Amino acid sequence: MAIQDQHTERLIRLLRKDADRRKYIKEYMKEYRAKKKLETGKGQKQYYTHDDILMRQRASHKLKTVVNDIRFLFKE
């Protein structure tokens, strides 16, 4: 068996092992999330309330507006 064939077989074996590991982790996390959703009644963890998100959006919009106004003032 040539060295290239050995290398190819080893590469294929490693890629299959990696794919199997990724598939296992994906299925495990899918089951884990489904179990947690049944226990807690929530699908995903919410870090911010809707009001917090709106407040951050408004602040970002105001900041962009001010920056654009300053650019316009100093435009040549």
CB 37 within 8 A of CB 43: yes
- Confidence band of 1 (pLDDT split at 50, 70, 90): low
Mind listing the pLDDT tens digit for each residue in 56-75? 999 999 999 999 999 999 88
Residues near 12 by Cβ (< 8 Å), separated by ≥ 6?
none
Domain residue ranges of the chain, discontinuous segments joined by +: 1-43, 46-76
List pLDDT tens digits, range 19-52. Answer: 999 999 999 999 999 998 898 887 777 788 889 9
Give phi and psi for 63, each to the nearest 5. -65, -45
Question: What is the spatial distance between Cα 14 and Cα 39, in angstroms, rounded to a whole number?
Answer: 37
